[in-house]
Amino acid sequence: MTTLYVQHDGCTLTRQDSTLIVRYRENDQSHQQRIPVEKVGAVVIGTGCHITSGAIQLLLSLQVPISFVDYHERFVGALHTPINGNQLLRRQQYQAAENPEMQLYLAYHFLGGKMQNQRTLIQRYARENAALDVYVSQMASFIKSLETVSDIPMMMGYEGQVAKLYFEALGQIFGEAWGFTGRNRRPPRDPINAMLSYGYTVLEAFITSALHQVGLDPYVGFVHSLFPGRKSLALDLLEEFRPVIVDSAVLGLIGNQMLKPADFQIQLGVCLMPEDTRKTFLQRFQQRMDQSVQHPITQEKTTYSRLIVSQARQIGAFLLGDIEGYVPVRIR
């Protein structure tokens, strides 16, 4: 399964029988791309693009989610079939969300998995850059402190300290030419943050779809507080995958010189990704999603896109009491 990104300004996504057709103009010429719907696992529609009712009906009939992003690459909404009819699972989810012990347990594993992955990512680059060793050491100290934490606010405080060190280290890896001095968003003000924000948006759409597929409510989580319109559980599960998929994709793009600062545009203090830049990013993102990886429990070979669904199922199994605990994804 792959994700279909409909990004060309003015393009239209339609259908013919069980085939999706993307029609667009480029260099004053008309083009079309034909994709068998059975190969599509998700669709992302950009600003200025159109989708016909026939294409929508075909995709939803196969439970393929359709997400929409705005001009600044922010998620604005999605179309999907109703949540899987597993009312028992959702009842357990809602009860667990009110249970402090369950909240703390899952928060520890969601945030702990993220922090471990951040540390491992920097550690890889420290092998060739000794200046990064201090970041790895300090991050390890904060991660160790998680074991004695008794409430989520304190845990998120340690997570914030690790994130600060992590992004400082990334700044050294990226180099001065990229102008990255830390995380900023809404809107992103530099190329790195533009890619990170866009990548997290697309990844969140994937995770939301996986939660729907399993029968979990993406809006009721354990780490992120409940707020109207906030997909708290999707954001919870997103944590362990941020460094693994999006951050790694950005590092790969820059390390392999597939993008350069001149490929981005700054308008009124906002960093924008032109169409070609966005296309290059999405290709790398999809490569990362399709990359072979070892399942954290079964040790079998899988891909990150399948692993997202597997982790959603694992949350459900834990909430139902079918398994004893939750094991986050950790890179080595």
Whether the CB-CB separation of 155 and 108 falls below 8 Å is answered with yes
Q: What is the pLDDT of residues 88-117, one digit of tens each?
A: 999 999 999 999 999 999 999 999 999 999
pLDDT value of position 178: 92
Task: Look at the block and give the residue holding tokens 């030419």.
Answer: 177
Residue 69: half-sphere exposure toward Cβ, Cα within 13 Å: 24
Set out the domains of the chain in order of their start, with CATH numbers. Answer: 2-64 (3.100.10.20), 87-320 (1.20.120.920)
CA distance 70 to 78: 12
Phi/psi-derived region of residue 52, left when phi > 0, alpha when psi is between -120 and 50, beta in every other case: beta
Residue 68 one-letter amino acid: F
Q: Output Rg (C-alpha) for the chain, integer angstroms.
A: 20
CA distance 152 to 223: 7
Helix 304-320 vs helix 275-289: crossing angle, to nearest 10: 60
Whether the CB-CB separation of 186 and 167 falls below 8 Å is answered with no
Among residues 315, 317, 319, which one has the least CA distance to residue 110? 315
Q: Which residue has the higher pLDDT, 278 or 84?
A: 278
Q: What is the pLDDT of residues 33-42, one digit of tens each?
A: 898 998 888 8
CA distance 269 to 257: 25
Q: What is the pLDDT of residues 282-332, one digit of tens each?
A: 999 999 999 988 888 888 899 999 999 999 999 999 999 999 999 999 988
DSSP secondary structure code for residue 51 in this structure = E
Q: What is the pLDDT of residues 147-206, one digit of tens each?
A: 888 899 999 999 999 999 999 999 999 988 898 888 887 789 899 999 999 999 889 988
Q: What is the pLDDT of residues 21-56, one digit of tens each?
A: 998 877 777 888 898 998 888 888 888 889 999 999
pLDDT value of position 261: 94
CA distance 97 to 327: 18
Among residues 69, 28, 43, which one has the least CA distance to residue 272? 69
Task: Look at the block and give the residue holding tokens 């992120």.
Answer: 224
User: In the structure, what pLDDT confidence band is assigned to residue 1 with cuts at 50, 70 and 90?
Assistant: low
Q: What is the pLDDT of residues 254-275, one digit of tens each?
A: 999 999 999 999 988 889 888 8
CA distance 265 to 269: 10
pLDDT value of position 2: 74
Q: What is the pLDDT of residues 198-222, one digit of tens each?
A: 999 889 988 988 898 889 999 999 9
Whether the CB-CB separation of 142 and 154 falls below 8 Å is answered with no
Whether the CB-CB separation of 40 and 3 falls below 8 Å is answered with yes
pLDDT value of position 84: 62
| Residue 203 token pair | 């990844």
pLDDT value of position 238: 97
| Residue 205 token pair | 């759409």
CA distance 22 to 106: 41
